[in-house]
Structure 1
Amino acid sequence: MSDIRNYIVFLILPISLGQELLQNPDFENVNSISPWICNECNAAIIPDYYHGKSSVHVSGRIHKYSGLGQTFPVQGGHHYQCSAYIKVHFNTQGKLFANLHMFVTYKTTDGTSHYKQFANDQYHQKEFNWEEIGGDFYIPSGVSSAKVYIQINDHSVVYSLDHASCQQIPHDSQWKIKATDRIENTRKGRLNIKITSDGQLDTNGLIVQIKQTKSKFAFGTAFRAQYVTDSIHKAYQDFLYNNFEWVVPENSLKWKQMEWSRGHINYDKGIDAVKAVKAHGMKIRGHNMFWGVPSRLPRWLTGLSSSELLQELHNRVNGMIAKSRGMLEHWDVNNENLHGDFFEQHLPNPNITNDMFRWIHNAEPNVKLFLNEFNVVSSSISTTAYTNQGKRFRIDKVPIYGMGIQSHLPSSTINMDSLKYRLDKVAESGLPIWITELTIMDSNENNKAAALEDVLTMFFSHPAIEGILLWGFWDGAAYDTRLALATGSSVTPNAAGRKWQELFHQRFRTNETHTLSGQTSISQKVFYGDYQLTFRKNGVIVHTENINMDQDGQNIIVNL
């Protein structure tokens, strides 16, 4: 696992940004914080620091919005990122977390003031020491200045701030060309085939087909359990098995849906569905073991004591693993952990998610374990907090494999500069990334198809990303029909569905045929994955061979 992480860190280039727009960003002037303003608070330069030799210590806050801010120049019609490193200090009894926010405010040309939150870390512990808070945002046309500021809900919290930054995110009009180049360089390797024979070798007219049968990169979707276990839904099943290689049960492995009443667990629905798709060669993600958002919990958990709750968590892991052992590739451990803290508050244990990872790993060491979160690329609200969580898990030696990014995109209008910035930020965690729940909301199928092509190209090109799963594909089994790639009782692909098929079956796959004229070798770049090599002479198959292409410069010797 560590080798994979180091490989990813090596591949990720530094995030490209414009010039620094803040003044005194490191608080190195021991006599003044200017041009920073401490709004209804006290500020003092102290020798504790994240970067340089000093930081600013903020105390005496009387409102949640009391704190530091600075006005800086901007150019309307562009995207910006702002960040800072923060260390919180609070001694309020019973408080596990501080709720941190980062805002930008500006006035548009009509004189209206706008306040936009672009970063949030609502479960920040004082034990975290220095951590980054930040994100990105758009400044409308006509705006020439903006103010960035820190807000903390509990005004009793004091904090130190250092190494602040605001920069423009440059627009890259060549992003797709660069993404295509990255795909060529990171998703393909050179396959060298040498043809030999124990007797006389004549390759004139020999036809060699190089056909990819599986992709190393994961292309998949969520599915509904009832639609894969009942033959009446053959059209749904055909589309599923013909256009995806990975799947994730949408609801049937979730605790709430499995155990509506305590002790009465329905394993069969989810496990039968897993067996059905596995019989068709699909690889399966487990979603999810826990989900600490109150509305997503079995209701009966809310009345338990902390000791009873802890025992039920163990029962959930042990019972689920006993039924699913060997069937699943992944588990999302505590879903949307940055947006729900039921377990943390009721045990109480601010690090219970770390423990959950260890329990599952001990029960089934070969399953890869994931965090899974939203508002990471669809907005920047949770991007940096999520990156920090991944970094902490690595430092604390939590048995985590990767970072699940849900990617519920609200429309087909997607800023690719911001999307790449957010992906690069999460990649700083040093962990593999999986796109786990991709949706693009648009009732216009052609707009959705164009956006899907752009998004898949960006995701597939990013060296930290190992897989992309849609959150459903059919309008008859979707929480919102605008996300559908296929429609009607025949599950007919719309323009977006046809675009997925084009990318999955053609553009991101290798299927080549070579007709030889006496040569005894072939050298070609191919996508990583499984292949069937077929050799024909005079219309007759003389040899077939299955290979796995998983490294650049792979040499295959075929004896005819």
Structure 2
Amino acid sequence: MTKAKLAFWLGWIALLQGCMVKSSLPYEYDYSASIECLPEPLEPQYGGGVLRNADFSAGLRGWSAFGYGSIAESTSAAGNGFAVALNRTRPYQSVSQKVYLQADTHYTLSAWLQVSDGGADVRAVVKTVGDFVHAGGGVAKAGCWSMLKGGLTAASSGPAELYFESNATVDLWVDSVSLKPFSKDEWTAHRAESVSAARKKAVRLQATDSAGNPLEGAAVSLDAVRTNFPLGAAVSRYILTNSAYQTWFASRFAVATFENEMKWYSTEPAPGQEDYTVPDAMMAFAKSNGIAVRGHNVFWDQPSQQPRWVQSLPYPQLLAAASRRIRSVVSRYAGQVIGWDVVNENLHFNFYEGRFGWDASTAFYAAARLLDAGSALMFMNEFNTVEQPGDMAALPARYLQRLQQIIAAYPENGAGMAIGLEGHFTTNPNIPYMRAALDTLAQAGIPVWLTEVDVAPGPSQAQHLEEVLREAYAHPAVQGIVIWSAWRPEGCYVMCLTDNSFNNLPQGDVVDRLIAEWRATPRAGSTDAQGYFEAELVHGEYKVTVSHPALNSSISRSVKVELGSGSDHYFIDMQV
């Protein structure tokens, strides 16, 4: 009896390096962003794109004063030239440049900003014929330069003017501005390359005998066991009594978020009368089907979303009730959920901060971490951060400031914190802004999820949903997506995927198509003359089976394909 050895060699072919996806296209998309306030601005991205004199090295040539304001050229101590909007009395008074936009074209925008005193929210605006398009925003400070990154899609061809606005009447400094166009074909191609780098891996398997000789013609099959990327959806209590809903959901999704059933007003409708019957049953359903659960939510900062009996409680009673709530829900489901939305929407609302002080959210996050000390992520969950460049309360810069406040006050929370972006999009999502916002948020270096994705009803709802989901999946910082489509007989919150008989609507067809595309799928073939078999695989777990005519049996091995560099070697001995 002799032995033959099959050596499985898995190696990188495509590698994501840092934040930049390597591209074979003539114009790469620059995923870089800065969240640091720097002594001097960096060079304009793409050399300024379609803008002239983007770095102000030629003074103010190509630039004008907007809104009957006044502008001047200035120079830093290091010799860097920039523009200053002086003596501002109106929000829109700033520096501007006229451009010509091409219809149906995506534009990515960036600029470096500073103010003469304090700090100020600054918005980038593109004035077109008959419209003012918000393209992004940032927080500018005195004494250092901050980067604003955004974007827009031109609805039609025509003249336009880029300018900046701020409600603060301080002087506004502007430098290193860029407006770079990408055709939609180019944008899609960049997205495809990012998917290959961030979600797939080209692997190479080699089969050899015990003497190290390659085995030509060995049959290789790779059966998918599990896909790494978590795609989920919201679910309602009706799944407990509707078998069609159960079958439809469990056959598609790896993650569930209970739409309302875990919220405080559902589990304690009257003081001291806790009832977890429904979320317990939903948790049991998820476990029985191998579905992970996000804990949504511990607290909601919106005043109108408190249990009615909570809204008017005086301070001592509210403190006692809140303490009981967090201990109750987090302790009950600790170790059973993959993440917690600890304080929902605390950029737009401040119910608890108004009652307990500015650090209320910080204290809640610290308590949640102590109560669930496992691997569950602690999310800041917010809307409009990637959806609406005009919402100054939810800018990526504002989001990161709030996140840093929570982490700085309780450093132990830094590990295990996560970025939750709801993703409630309008009828015409701003895809370039979405990508730019993700670029900025990625610099925090913690997991990013889209947690409540839907698109407002309209004739192109399914098409826009597909664009949003593809953009999220392709971005290297995004680690999970949950679609906000919980089914109820009376209808869904904004967007349904099926009708009441669980036949797919066009939105459901989009989701099914993407699930099939993103899922780890079987591969089969045979080794070449050098014993090699190559395949590009979605990140996940595979059962690899190899057989050869010279052998009287086959061998199998579990292999995990994951993001990372280097090579893994698998050696399997078998009798012949």
Is TM-score (shorter-chain normalized) higher than 0.5? Answer: yes
Shift of 1:267: 2.1
Match for 1:533 among 515, 539, 544? 544
* 1:95-494 pair list within 5 angstroms: 100=121, 102=123, 104=125, 106=127, 108=129, 114=131, 135-137=150-152, 141-145=157-161, 147-151=163-167, 159=170, 161-163=172-174, 166-172=177-183, 173-193=185-205, 195=207, 207-227=219-239, 229-230=240-241, 233-349=242-358, 351-365=359-373, 366-382=375-391, 385-390=395-400, 393-394=403-404, 396=408, 397=411, 398-399=413-414, 401-411=417-427, 413-414=428-429, 416-442=431-457, 447-472=460-485, 474=487, 476=489, 478-480=491-493, 483-489=495-501, 491-494=502-505
Shift of 1:323: 0.5
Distance 1:310 1:221, change over 3 A: same
Amino acid at match of 1:312: A
For the residues of structure 2 that align with 1:20 and 1:206, how far apart are their CA atoms?
A: 55
* 1:8-27 pair list within 5 angstroms: 13-14=31-32, 16=45, 18-19=48-49
Once the two structures are superposed, what CA deviation does each residue of 1:463-497 show, in whole Å capped at 9, x if it has no partner? 1111122112657475256x3332231x1224443
Shift of 1:382: 4.5
Please say if residues 248 and 286 of structure 1, whose CA atoms lie closer than 8 Å, have aligned partners that are also in contact.
yes
For the residues of structure 2 that align with 1:357 and 1:27, how far apart are their CA atoms?
A: 47
Stretches of structure 2 that go unaligned for 5 or more consecutive residues are: 1-15, 22-29, 34-44
Shift of 1:210: 0.7
Please say if residues 149 and 440 of structure 2, whose CA atoms lie closer than 8 Å, have aligned partners that are also in contact.
no
Match for 1:511 among 500, 522, 527? 522
Please say if residues 111 and 147 of structure 2, whose CA atoms lie closer than 8 Å, have aligned partners that are also in contact.
yes
Distance 1:352 1:382, change over 3 A: farther
For the residues of structure 1 that align with 2:263 and 2:79, how far apart are their CA atoms?
A: 44
**Equivalent position SS for 2:384:** coil
Shift of 1:318: 1.4
Please say if residues 20 and 165 of structure 1, whose CA atoms lie closer than 8 Å, have aligned partners that are also in contact.
no
Distance 1:127 1:215, change over 3 A: farther
For the residues of structure 1 that align with 2:79 and 2:425, how far apart are their CA atoms?
A: 36
Please say if residues 222 and 522 of structure 2, whose CA atoms lie closer than 8 Å, have aligned partners that are also in contact.
yes
Q: Give TM-score scaled by structure 1 length.
A: 0.76
Distance 1:299 1:37, change over 3 A: same
Amino acid at match of 1:410: T
Please say if residues 262 and 295 of structure 2, whose CA atoms lie closer than 8 Å, have aligned partners that are also in contact.
yes
Amino acid at match of 2:226: K
Q: Is 2:569 aligned against 1:555?
A: yes
* Equivalent residue, structure 2, for 1:69: 94
Distance 1:457 1:147, change over 3 A: closer
Shift of 1:294: 1.4
163-172 vs 126-135, greater mean Cα deviation: 126-135
For the residues of structure 2 that align with 1:344 and 1:222, how far apart are their CA atoms?
A: 28
Stretches of structure 1 that go unaligned for 5 or more consecutive residues are: 1-5, 91-97, 153-157
Q: Give TM-score scaled by structure 2 length.
A: 0.74
Please say if residues 396 and 437 of structure 2, whose CA atoms lie closer than 8 Å, have aligned partners that are also in contact.
no
Over the residues paired in the alignment, what is the CA RMSD in angstroms?
4.6
For the residues of structure 2 that align with 1:259 and 1:369, how far apart are their CA atoms?
A: 22
Please say if residues 206 and 214 of structure 2, whose CA atoms lie closer than 8 Å, have aligned partners that are also in contact.
no
Please say if residues 86 and 130 of structure 1, whose CA atoms lie closer than 8 Å, have aligned partners that are also in contact.
yes
Distance 1:43 1:196, change over 3 A: closer
* Matched residues, number: 520
Please say if residues 180 and 457 of structure 1, whose CA atoms lie closer than 8 Å, have aligned partners that are also in contact.
no
Shift of 1:284: 1.5
Please say if residues 28 and 55 of structure 1, whose CA atoms lie closer than 8 Å, have aligned partners that are also in contact.
no
Once the two structures are superposed, what CA deviation does each residue of 1:173-224 show, in whole Å capped at 9, x if it has no partner? 3122222222222222244545578899997876432122211111111111
333-342 vs 305-314, greater mean Cα deviation: 305-314
Distance 1:164 1:360, change over 3 A: farther
* Equivalent residue, structure 1, for 2:37: none
Once the two structures are superposed, what CA deviation does each residue of 1:433-468 show, in whole Å capped at 9, x if it has no partner? 212122234565xx5554444433332221111112
Shift of 1:327: 0.3
Please say if residues 195 and 557 of structure 1, whose CA atoms lie closer than 8 Å, have aligned partners that are also in contact.
no
For the residues of structure 2 that align with 1:105 and 1:206, how far apart are their CA atoms?
A: 60
- Could you tell me the percent identity over the aligned residues? 20
For the residues of structure 2 that align with 1:240 and 1:203, how far apart are their CA atoms?
A: 44
Shift of 1:547: 3.3
Distance 1:141 1:57, change over 3 A: closer
Distance 1:340 1:242, change over 3 A: same
Please say if residues 321 and 364 of structure 1, whose CA atoms lie closer than 8 Å, have aligned partners that are also in contact.
yes
Once the two structures are superposed, what CA deviation does each residue of 1:336-370 show, in whole Å capped at 9, x if it has no partner? 22211222222221x33233222211222221111
Please say if residues 64 and 96 of structure 2, whose CA atoms lie closer than 8 Å, have aligned partners that are also in contact.
no
Distance 1:271 1:50, change over 3 A: farther
Shift of 1:167: 3.6
**Equivalent position SS for 1:362:** helix
* 1:44-55 pair list within 5 angstroms: none
Q: Is 2:541 aligned against 1:524?
A: no
Distance 1:428 1:387, change over 3 A: farther
**Equivalent position SS for 2:275:** coil
**Equivalent position SS for 2:166:** strand
Please say if residues 534 and 541 of structure 1, whose CA atoms lie closer than 8 Å, have aligned partners that are also in contact.
no
Once the two structures are superposed, what CA deviation does each residue of 1:212-256 show, in whole Å capped at 9, x if it has no partner? 2211111111111331x22xx111111111111122111111222
**Equivalent position SS for 1:419:** helix
Shift of 1:328: 0.5
Amino acid at match of 2:257: V
* Equivalent residue, structure 2, for 1:3: none
For the residues of structure 2 that align with 1:501 and 1:330, how far apart are their CA atoms?
A: 25
Distance 1:369 1:51, change over 3 A: farther
Please say if residues 82 and 174 of structure 2, whose CA atoms lie closer than 8 Å, have aligned partners that are also in contact.
no
Shift of 1:531: 1.8
Amino acid at match of 1:488: N
Amino acid at match of 1:75: Y
Once the two structures are superposed, what CA deviation does each residue of 1:26-69 show, in whole Å capped at 9, x if it has no partner? 9999xxx9947797xx99999999996999798997xxx56743
Please say if residues 377 and 417 of structure 2, whose CA atoms lie closer than 8 Å, have aligned partners that are also in contact.
yes
Distance 1:376 1:128, change over 3 A: farther
